[in-house]
Amino acid sequence: MVAVLNDYFEGLRHSDTQRLRRVFHEQAVYATASHGQPLVLRMDEYLPIVDARPSPASKGEVGTDEIVSIEFVGHATALAKLRCSILPRSFLDVLTLIHVDGHWQVIAKVFHWDEEVQVLGG
């Protein structure tokens, strides 16, 4: 499970959609209602967005990846709460994972984001 979550972080950090395709089930849902109307995408809509953006790693951003918690909800379902950032946003992700064909995959990503405030000067 932790290996899948680390692949998730690395996939986001490097905008590596090949890695993210292994992490996310092909029918996974990506959803948020942060700061407005609900946004709900499927992987065929979400992954091209990741492909089109410069990766945080290419911009020298330091990752703030953290696994906050993992809760198993039976033998084939788990919830993981994660923190990460892609500047200027910080994210709290709630991932629902299912155990399929011998490995864990994210079937739903529901998240909240906030803009990080940059303090200049002192």
| pTM of the entire predicted model | 0.90
Whose CA is closest to 40, among 48, 26, 30, 50? 30
**Rounded average pLDDT over 25-39:** 93
Rounded Cα distance, 18 and 41, in Å? 18
**Rounded average pLDDT over 64-78:** 96
* Residue 121 in this model has a pLDDT that exceeds 70: no
**C-beta separation of 65 from 82 below 8 A:** yes
Whose CA is closest to 68, among 82, 54, 84? 82
**Rounded average pLDDT over 35-53:** 94
The pLDDT of residue 48 is 97
**Rounded average pLDDT over 87-111:** 95
Query: Which position has the higher pLDDT, 21 or 64?
Result: 21
